Amino acid sequence: MRRYLLALTCLTTLLTGVSHAATAVDQVAVIVNDGVILKSDIEARMGDLRFQAQQRGAQVPDDAQLFGAAREQLIMENLQLQLASRNSIRPDDNTVNAALANLAKQNGLSLDAFRAKLDSTPGTSFEYLRNAIAREQIIERMRQRRMNDRINITDADINQFMATPAGSELNRQLDVQLNKKSEAAAPVAAPTMEYLVTQVLVPVEESANAKEQLRLADLAKQILQLQAQAMTPEQAIDSFKGKAPEAAIEPLGWRSTAQLPDLLQAPLERLIAGDAPELIRSPRGWHLIWLLDRRELRSPNTLLPPPPPVPTTVVKQREVRHILMRPNDLQSSEDIREVMNVLYKKLKNGADFAELARINSQDPGSAVKGGDLGWVSPGDMVPEFDSMIGQTPIGAISQPFQSSFGWHILRVDGEREKDMRETVLRDRAKQILFARAYDEELGAWLRELRAEAYVDFRGSN
């Protein structure tokens, strides 16, 4: 669904992307856990994939391949939406409205004109697009939560990063922002190259037996041979005519070598140097990377993405405790809210916050410390939590409130000012390392989600 936010630059593309053709008699094509995918959903997604291939100038797969790819995409989206629903993850109306306003602006229309244009076009509507953007946002929030749980960036990782040229550039950028050095006095960064990279993944399950592992390794070798013959990723996969359903194309977009996952950095550097393509093994399976294009960046911020504004590193921190409870299969969000209201009344009547947090909080990191989160800077927490910290007076207890993580009650114990230069640097380094690991870990999680799902195919394509 990300195409609705990132790839639409003209109204023709937009209408192609969101069109949902009506059928006289719809059919259930797939049962996914407790959800369903309709045949018309698959047909609409096939049209979308066909259009994307045409826009890239790639060979358009045949209908059987399009059907399989569209069906699998919808299965994965369905699974993530179901999981998000069980975790009470909802879209933010303000963010959805902003995305719609941005699309209207890209198409040279006011929001009202944009709505009228969509609603007057057969096969689509403004509401359909709004729902598509909301679904994308839900999926992105679900992924972010899971990746936060799975990706662990250690202090040692950050120290190692700070010792690299990228770490030095991070220091320079912050100095310039804080006006400790003028831009003219700062060393001029050498032009940096960016590369358009795509990978093909042949996944290998951890539980695969030796015979299956050999078969997948042979498949990866065959794709490597086709790559060496200068075939594009699409041509290499298409040459198997649907006989290699495991292989998946994963565009990585424009990246510097420093922005790639660690696993792919050295192989890409060897491709850049003119070496032959190679197979790369990871816990996910076999990777093959294509270097499709390159470009030179002359911006001074070449090694890293542009940093956020930092007029000062002196921030006003607040000392915070909280109690967290999450909805689950046995307790709905409304059930949790009622429990939290009971806890809130106990706290207002003088109950010990730390003791209630140790007993009830489902945040394992802080529960053992009586709910203590320590000193929190603005922006450290999700927006709902961050806002409630600011609204709660020193020494006061907030009413129960909900964030993407569940239901919270917090108490603000104190306030101070602190120079956070080193913390700002390390936080930015952590974000960069997190982004490098994100794609790899996301792929592993999605494979696990798919393997654990109940999927029942109905009818035929």
Residues 42/48, Cβ–Cβ less than 8 Å: no
Provide the pLDDT for residue 20.
47
SS3 labels along the chain? CCHHHHCCCCHHHHHHHHCCCCCCCCCEEEEECCEEEEHHHHHHHHHHHHHHHHHHCCCCCCHHHHHHHHHHHHHHHHHHHHHHHHCCCCCCHHHHHHHHHHHHHHCCCCHHHHHHHHHCCCCCCHHHHHHHHHHHHHHHHHHHHHHHHHCCCCHHHHHHHHCCHHHHHHHHHHHHHCCCCCCCCCCCCCCEEEEEEEEEEEECCCCCCHHHHHHHHHHHHHHHHHHHCCCCHHHHHHCCCCCCCCCEEEEEEEECHHHCCHHHHHHHHHHHCCCCCCCEEECCEEEEEEEEEEEEECCCCCCCCCCCCCCCCEEEEEEEEEEEECCCCCCCHHHHHHHHHHHHHHHHCCCCHHHHHHHHCCCHHHHCCCCEEEEECCCCCCHHHHHHHHHCCCCCECCCEEECCEEEEEEEEEEEEEECHHHHHHHHHHHHHHHHHHHHHHHHHHHHHHHCCCEEECCCC
Q: State the residue for tokens 């912050």.
A: 174
Chain mean pLDDT for the chain: 83
The pLDDT of residue 6: 34
pLDDT in tens, 337-377: 999 999 999 999 999 999 999 999 999 899 999 999 999 98
Residue 304 has pLDDT above 70, yes or no: no
| Least confident segment among 8-22, 45-59, 426-440 | 8-22
> Residue 409: pLDDT above 90?
yes
What is the mean pLDDT of the segment spanning 50-76? 83
Report all structural domains of the chain as residue ranges with CATH numbers, in order of start.
3-148 (1.10.4030.10), 151-187+420-456 (no CATH), 192-297 (3.10.50.40), 314-418 (3.10.50.40)
pLDDT at 242: 64
pLDDT at site 182: 41
300 pLDDT tier (thresholds 50, 70, 90): very low
Tell whether the model's pLDDT for residue 11 goes beyond 50: no
pLDDT of residue 371: 95
| pLDDT higher than threshold 60 for residue 97 | yes
pLDDT bin (cut points 50, 70, 90) of residue 428 is: confident
pLDDT of residue 316: 87
